[in-house]
Amino acid sequence: MTSKPENDRPLTPVLDRVKLPSDLKSLSDAQLCQLADELRSETISAVSVTGGHLGAGLGVVELTVALHAVFDTPRDKIIWDVGHQCYPHKILTGRRDRIRTLRTGGGLSGFTKRTESPYDPFGAGHSSTSISAALGFALARELGGDPGDAIAVIGDGAMSAGMAYEALNNAGDLGKRLFVVLNDNEMSIAPPVGAMSSYLTRLYTEGPFQDLKAVARGAVGFLPPPFQEGARRAKDLLKGMTIGGTLFENLGFSYIGPVDGHDLEQLLPLLRTVKARATGPVLIHAVTTKGKGYGPAETAADKGHATGKFDVITGVQAKAKSNAPGYTSVFAEALMDQASRDDKIVAITAAMPDGTGLKKFAERYPRRCFDVGIAEQHAVTFSAGLAAGGIKPFCAIYSTFLQRGYDQIVHDVAVQGLPVRFAIDRAGLVGQDGPTHAGAYDIAFLANLPGMVVMAAADEAELIHMVATAAAHDSGPIAFRFPRGEGAGVDLPELGEVLEIGKGRIVAPGRGVAILSFGTRLAASLEAREVLSARGVTPTIADARFAKPLDRDLILRLAAEHDALITIEEGAVGGFGSHVAQLLADEGVFDRGLCFRSMVLPDSFVDHDAPVAMYDTSALNAPHIVAKVMEVLGIVELQGKQA
């Protein structure tokens, strides 16, 4: 009995038989080929409903089928680097019935997640971690931990990060049985950057191909007899192996490839053979196409990396109409404006030119924009070197990725007092990407550094001012943070104003309670004020602008003129509110009876959902501010009666 299409879903008679990867063991190779076709169709259908990372998953459909058919998951651990490509894996591992809940509240994560399934042995959201994790699993096996093989699947874009080489070097030195599949699609999020990308390209574009006897060294011993006998397919499989694999072989790996990552007739016997015979680390170089099998993805500039909901036939995405410019776009325009006035301004991004808005900057100022690849540590120190050389670098990195360069921020930038400008996009909670991408910690980890200036834009007009302020600040490092998504719809200034460092502003005067906001919770604070005004309560609303240095005069005045002070921020505990509390404590303000509260993100990781729902979970929306104000007023009233 074959399946019938439901809600325009594709016919999937073989896939319907697969509930878990163990079901693949009963399928013939021909059926596995059909399964791959059906899995690709199911992935396209699911992502058309949910939106998400499409192209990466389509590029590894055959790899996913082959790995699950040959290895014995979850005993064997498949570790997907980043996790963008894991949707087909999720469909095959018991989650097909929930695949259309991807990235929605209460639904499946868009990445691998240990708490979601035993088939996700290691969670990810950032790149270049898979080989390190796989090596950890391999050594755990040797030391009596979980049995089974470890297989890391890593893209060529992720190979631009130093961590991948650290892991390769360590794995080759230890010599333990370990499999690394290099998924070489010449396409990460942005076009690949650097020498490694060029090296991998040469592996399968340079010729002539070597005679089979000339390459019958090293990993050829893994291949089954038909390949060793000199079949044409073996030559294709092994082309470039002698020269191309030198780097990996010198690191201690047996290198096999390049192999066609979409040809199961190559992948299946190869994986079966290395699984049966490998004794040490093996690297399999598979060449794939991101977005494979879906025309709109294959022809898109980003190969369908991240999409909204879309029409399967046309590929046209359904996007909500924008009522206000996005923060990222406003940042890009403001930076270009400053760059037009100062030829020493340059921009640096770590493989995210589109996401950070710097693609526009690069088009206008190609000699002044640098994409360093997935290498945040390098990006920060490179920026430090530029600053030390008299240039004005704007290092534009998402909050969640800036964490990866923290030692460099401390050691190479802050200690030396270098004027690197950090443009921190995706600050706060970011929605469907969930906790791995939350910009929750940058306030805390930057504001504790001596000499660092830390700003947060309350709206898009403030962001323009902060870009201008950063451009003018030459006495040390400075950072400004802004969220993902649309702005508040405020009027934009023609020219950014250079703000006085460490000075906030009163937005709406009131009495009784003061709300001091840092960042875009200002809009929720003003909304709360409207609700409270109907109840006869009119709190003062202030915009701090700076978490470092604090506006001491403003904070102490708010404390002196109000019975209660509430701070609010889109960051974890230990950030702006903690610095304010330290100031108040040092000044003895609490000794005089001020009621103080700090509203921050919860001390937990907030699961993926729509941003407004995530802030509801975090108790940081307008109704929560109203409740907090009423709470502190009740305490103040009670204290007054007791007095």
Task: Read off the pLDDT of residues 368-400 as tens digits, 9 standing for 90 and up.
Answer: 999 999 999 999 999 999 999 999 999 999 999
Range of weakest confidence among 29-33, 90-94, 150-154, 161-165: 161-165
Catalytic pick among 90, 275, 404, 421: 404
Collect all residues with Cβ–Cβ distance below 8 Å to 145 and sequence separation of at least 6.
Answer: 137
Query: Does the pLDDT at position 437 exceed 60?
Result: yes
| pLDDT digits 0-9 by tens, 226-285 | 444 433 333 333 333 334 567 888 899 998 878 889 999 989 999 999 999 999 999 999
Reference 471, options 286, 373, 334; nearest CA is 334
pLDDT tier for residue 617 given thresholds of 50, 70 and 90: very high
| Three-class DSSP category at 443 | helix
The 3-state secondary structure of 366-427 reads HHHEEECCCCHHHHHHHHHHHHHCCCEEEEEEEHHHHHHHHHHHHHHHHCCCCCCEEEEECC
> Sign of torsion, CA 100 101 103 108?
negative
Is residue 535 pLDDT above 90, yes or no?
A: yes
CB 361 within 8 A of CB 522: no
301/5: higher pLDDT: 301
Cα-Cα-Cα-Cα dihedral sign, residues 605, 609, 610, 615: negative
Q: Please compute Rg for the chain using Cα positions.
A: 27
Poorest-confidence range of 416-420, 606-610, 624-628?
Answer: 606-610
- Domains along the sequence of the chain with CATH: 15-299 (3.40.50.970), 327-481 (3.40.50.970), 505-642 (3.40.50.920)
Instruction: Report percent pLDDT > 90 for the chain.
Output: 73
pLDDT value of residue 226: 45
Could you tell me the end-to-end alpha-carbon distance of the chain, in angstroms, rounded to an integer? 80
The model's pLDDT over 100-142, given as tens digits with 9 standing for 90+, comes to 999 999 999 999 999 999 999 999 888 899 999 999 999 999 9
Angle at which helices 264-277 and 61-70 cross, to 10°: 40
| pLDDT for 296 | 85
376 among known catalytic residues: yes
Residue 398: which of 435, 424, 375 has the closest Cα?
Answer: 424
What is the distance between the alpha carbons of residues 622 and 603, in angstroms, rounded to a whole number?
20
Q: What predicted TM-score, i.e. pTM, was given to this entire model?
A: 0.86
> Largest Cα–Cα distance of the chain, in whole Å?
96
Give the residue ranges of the annotated binding site.
Answer: 84, 125-127, 156-158, 185, 294, 376
Question: How many CB atoms sit inside 10 A of residue 527's CB?
Answer: 15
pLDDT at 210 over 60: no
Contacts of 363 (CB under 8 A, 6+ apart): none
Binding site members for Mg(2+): 156, 185
Catalytic-labelled residue, pool 62, 249, 333, 376: 376
Q: What is the mean pLDDT of residues 83-96?
A: 94
Per-residue DSSP letter, 437: G
What integer pLDDT is reported at residue 245 of this predicted model?
62
Report the percent of the chain where pLDDT is more than 70. 88
**Which of 46-50, 512-516, 564-568, 594-598 has the weakest average pLDDT?**
46-50
Q: Which structure tokens are listed for 601? A: 């993100």
Per-residue CA distances from 453 to 191, 448, 546, 555 (Å): 33, 10, 7, 17
Minimum mean pLDDT among 50-64, 146-160, 164-178, 217-231: which range?
217-231
Q: Please tell me which residue in 290, 292, 481, 529 is annotated as part of the active site.
A: 290
Q: What is the mean pLDDT of residues 350-361?
A: 93
Range list of H helices, 473-551: 522-533
42 forms bridges with which residues in the sheet? none
Is 1's pLDDT higher than 50? no
At residue 581, the 3 state secondary structure works out as: helix
Establish whether 290 is a catalytic residue: yes
Q: How confident is the model at residue 43 (pLDDT cuts 50, 70, 90)?
A: very high
Q: Which residues are annotated as a binding site for thiamine diphosphate?
A: 84, 125-127, 157-158, 185, 294, 376
pLDDT in tens, 482-523: 999 999 999 999 999 999 999 999 999 999 999 999 999 999
Q: In this predicted structure, which of 215-229, 320-334, 590-604 has the lowest mean pLDDT?
A: 215-229
> pLDDT higher for 157 or 401?
401
Q: Mean pLDDT score of the chain, rounded to an integer?
A: 88
Alpha-carbon distance of 334 to 125, in angstroms, equals 30
